[in-house]
Amino acid sequence: MKRIGIVVLFFMAAWISINNPFVSAYLTSLKNGSIPTARQENPLYQEIVRNASKYEIKPSNAILDKVWKAIPGYNGVKVDVSASYNNMKKEGKFNKQKLVLKQIKPDKHLQDLPPAPIYRGYQDKPMVSFIINVAWGNEYLPEMLATLKKHTITASFFLEGNWVKKNPDLAKMIVDAGHEVGNHSYSHPDMKRISANRAREEMIKTNDVIEATTQEKCKWFAPPSGSYHDETIRIADELKMGTVMWTVDTVDWQKPTPEVLINRVMGKIGNGSMILMHPTASTAKSLDRLITLIEKKNLKIGTVSELMSETRVEMTSEKN
């Protein structure tokens, strides 16, 4: 009985402590971090807190620009103090190389903007994309795919629906190589001059044949010859596709020499650029050197979806 009484008294004391407003307030403060823990009082922890603002970057919202139209947002960076402390506590001293940074999303995203064409990615994102429109040029595709594979590069191929219907094996080859595929209409019409019903039919028909052939759903639409009107953009948006244009044109259909094509691109390329090309002899011969020169400028090459993503290309401890 004495033992039972002790147990009862113990639980009564615990219950009183938990329900004591002073104890409850202390526990709440401790939980919310308003009362420093031993870790938070540690000089190293406090040094990380003091230095955190030096390495933080605010996120940037997606915007509608007067010139470039829809521009995606870009994640910001914030120091994860607790994780950084855990990384450094063994050495017991501050080391910026061991800071743990986490990405902070912007408030406004590309999908929050009204339907508008996209000409480029975010201006501070060190990435570019190859936009390869395919309605002809079958003989140059294998060489281009081999070059992209050599450099471990993925690109965005915008396929004409009628071309896919006639060349299902080539379409599958593109997808099997890990590349992104998009909608380039079905019969390559001037989207600015056709009716809304015809434009919708062109897009839907192409989406259907691409999905049936490659099992891939199109997220992006590239109007043939870059011709469109506002209704074209709205229809693509209704079909869950963004409309993609380009920042830099190789003008490869004019059959430039590799030197001319490369100089044309490298003279204009920068963060967020989208480079328009086609399966031509000029591009096939230029691609290997072009990729090397782009990467020497510390620009990563990725798909349109990767370029439009708010995810930062590289997480470093110092602001650019």
pLDDT recorded at residue 314: 72
Looking at residue 39, its pLDDT comes to 73
Q: Residue 298, Cβ neighbours under 10 Å: how many? A: 10
pLDDT of residue 38: 65
Q: Residue 271: what pLDDT?
A: 98
Which amino acid, residue 11? F
CATH number for position 285: 3.20.20.370
Specify if 24 maps to a domain. no
Model pLDDT, residue 17: 47
Same domain for 135 and 84: no
Entry pTM: 0.84
Name which of 169, 111, 108 is nearest 142 in CA terms: 169
User: Is residue 176 domain-shared with residue 281, that is, in the same domain?
Assistant: yes
pLDDT value at residue 16: 46
H-helix or E-strand spanning residue 143: helix 141-150
In this structure, is residue 148 part of a structural domain? yes
Which residues is 102 bridged to in the sheet? 78
Q: Is 256 helix (H, G, I), strand (E, B) or coil?
A: coil
- Neighbouring residues of 65: CB distance < 8 A, sequence distance ≥ 6: 71
For residue 285, give its domain range.
115-308
Residue 23 lies inside a defined structural domain of this protein? no
User: Which pLDDT score is estimated for 281?
Assistant: 98
* Token pair recorded at residue 280: 């031509």
Is the same domain home to 154 and 290?
yes
Residue 17 in contact with residue 23, Cβ under 8 Å? yes
Phi-psi region of 160 (alpha: psi -120 to 50; beta: other; left: phi over 0): beta
Residues 291, 204 share a domain: yes
Domain closes at, from 89, 113, 137: 113
Question: What is the separation of C-alpha 57 from the centre of its chain, rounded to a whole number of angstroms?
Answer: 18
> Where does a domain end: 62, 89, 113?
113
Are residues 212 and 263 both part of a single domain?
Answer: yes
Evaluate whether residue 26 is within a structural domain: no
Domain end, chosen from 93, 113, 133, is at 113
Q: Retrieve residue 308's tokens.
A: 């439009």
Pull the structure tokens for residue 166. Answer: 């006639």
7 assigned to some structural domain = no
Q: Is residue 3 part of a domain?
A: no
Asked if 285 and 167 sit in the same domain, the reply is: yes
Of the candidates 170, 165, 169, the one whose C-alpha atom is nearest the C-alpha of residue 140 is 170
> How many domains is the chain built from?
2
Distance CA(54)–CA(108), nearest Å, equals 25
138 and 279, same domain (yes or no): yes
CB atoms within 10 A of CB 168: 14
In a shared domain, residues 107 and 198 = no
Q: Which residues fall within 8 angstroms of residue 267, CB to CB, at 6 or more apart?
A: none
How far is the C-alpha of 72 from the C-alpha of 129, rounded, in Å?
14
Question: 100 with 230, same domain?
Answer: no
Instruction: Tell me the average confidence (pLDDT) per consecutive run of 10 residues in the chain, 320 residues long.
Output: 47 48 45 58 93 96 97 97 94 94 97 97 98 98 98 98 98 98 98 98 98 98 97 98 98 98 98 98 98 98 98 59
Position 47, amino acid: E
Amino acid identity for residue 79 in this structure? V
53: its two tokens: 């603002």
Res 29: pLDDT: 44
Tell me: do 103 and 145 sit in the same domain: no
Q: Show the CA angle centred on residue 270, arms to residues 141 and 216, nearest 5°.
A: 40
Say yes or no: 207 and 125 in one domain: yes
Which residue is listed with tokens 């930062």?
312
DSSP-based three-state secondary structure for 53: helix
- Is residue 214 in a domain? yes
* Domain annotation covers residue 22: no
Q: Quick one: pLDDT at residue 12?
A: 47
- 95 and 120 inside one domain: no
